[in-house]
């Protein structure tokens, strides 16, 4: 499955992108507000093996795309299905992204996120959620640009690089 936008191509994330994934996933500045940090190449490879297994499932529960720009791997975006009612088809998903800092500030996360919103609609999902640290202004601006609305500002979050708990923002988008 590939998705094309005006400037980007979203392709299944695989171990083919190990080194470029590790470049941003191990960067403390990039992962400052993240819940994870792949500080070793082995951790990054383990994550990508997991992602490859997810692409083999039917139905897929976790869509992780490599974001490609002019043939370069610049980040990743994911749609994680929330199966809150196993009797019926899932109706909700979490949205997340990460970009190599060399590509910040150019609208790539917004463009990729809008493409994933369309995928979520095609999958018949009804709601999308996204969360971020209250200090991660760039992330919540992306959420707002794609039409999500803030539904809470009181969640507790412990980022990988911090010993302190912070406030988590939660955003939602109604798709139907």
Give the C-alpha separation, 141 to 154, whole Å.
18
Domains and CATH numbers, the chain: 3-131 (3.40.630.30)
Residue 135 clears pLDDT 90, i.e. is over it:
no
Annotate 22-44 with b (16+ C-beta within 10 A) or e (fewer).
bbbbbbeebbebbeebbeeeeeb
Average pLDDT of span 99-118: 97
Whether the ω angle into residue 55 lies within 30 degrees of 0, i.e. cis, is no
Q: Which residues contact 168 (CB under 8 A, 6 or more apart)?
A: 131, 132, 133, 134, 152, 154, 155, 156, 157
Q: What is the pLDDT of residue 116?
A: 97
Is the whole model's pTM more than 0.85, yes or no? yes
Q: What is the pLDDT of residue 22?
A: 93
pLDDT in tens, 20-73: 999 999 888 887 777 766 788 998 999 999 999 999 998 888 999 999 999 999
């Amino acid at each position: 499955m590939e998705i094309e936008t005006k400037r980007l191509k979203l392709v299944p994330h695989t171990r083919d992108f190990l080194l470029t994934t590790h470049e941003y996933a191990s960067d403390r500045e990039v992962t400052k507000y993240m819940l994870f940090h792949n500080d070793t190449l082995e951790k990054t490879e383990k994550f990508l093996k997991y992602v490859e297994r997810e692409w083999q499932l039917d139905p897929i529960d976790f869509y992780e795309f490599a974001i490609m720009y002019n043939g370069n791997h610049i980040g990743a975006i994911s749609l994680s299905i929330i199966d809150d009612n196993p009797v019926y088809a899932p109706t909700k998903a979490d949205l997340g992204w990460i970009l190599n800092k060399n590509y910040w500030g150019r609208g790539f996360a917004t463009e990729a996120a809008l493409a994933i919103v369309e995928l979520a609609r095609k999958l018949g999902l009804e709601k999308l959620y996204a969360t971020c640290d209250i200090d991660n202004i760039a992330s919540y601006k992306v959420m707002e640009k794609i039409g999500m609305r803030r539904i809470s500002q009181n969640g507790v979050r412990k980022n990988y690089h911090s010993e302190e708990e912070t406030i988590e923002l939660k955003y939602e988008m109604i798709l139907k």
